[in-house]
Every structure is written in structure tokens, then in C-alpha cells.
Amino acid sequence: MLVVHLDLVVSDRPDVAQRVLATCCRRQGTVIALTFTRRGDDTALLKLTVEVEPRLRRALIDRIAGLVDVREVLNTTSAAPPSRLSAA
């Protein structure tokens, strides 16, 4: 699994966070953390951390970015999956 961090500028509407969560679930992602901070100009900053299979990462980000209330993707970072140590 890969951990993906997204910073999104979204419309300041009460259902935006739930729709982002539902999109993550439909795209086989596991939401680890989500914060929603109002910015005062009819927008909000949504910070999302989701765990997803590496092969599904790009499709998940594209689907979230394509949601009608997502205005901008500010930052996308991925943490590499933990490496496995082989037993000697």
C-alpha cells in the first residue's frame, strides 16, 4: 500500500468532505486522516491522507480532482511503501 497526501481547495459546502470520502472508498482507498478548514472566501482547505494500492494511485487522484467542488489540487505527495527486510 502507498500513503498519499492531498491538499485540496474545495467549495465551502457541508457535503464536500463526505463526497471525497465516498470517492476514496469507491476507488479502494482507505482514508487515514481528513481535515476541513474554512478559508472565509467560500472555499475551504481539505487535507486528505489516504492509503491506496500503487496501481490505483493516479486514478484516485484524478477522480478526486475531477469532483465538481474541488477547485484546485495544491499538493500531492506519496510515501513509498515500507520496504521488507529479507531474513538471512
**pLDDT tens, residue by residue, 47-86:** 999 999 999 999 999 999 999 999 999 988 988 765 555 5
Q: Work out the pLDDT band at 46, boundaries 50, 70, 90.
A: very high
CA distance 48 to 39: 16
Distance (Å, whole) CA 86 – CA 8: 38
Extents of the domains making up the chain: 2-79
pLDDT, mean of residues 5-20: 96
* Whole-prediction pTM: 0.85
Closest CA to 76 of 53, 46, 44: 46
Residue 11: strand pairing partners: 43
Q: What CA–CA distance (Å, rounded) separates 56 from 84? A: 21
Cβ atoms of residues 51 and 1 within 8 Å: yes
Q: Which CATH number fits domain 2-79: 3.30.460.80, 3.30.70.260, 1.10.10.10, 3.40.980.10?
A: 3.30.70.260
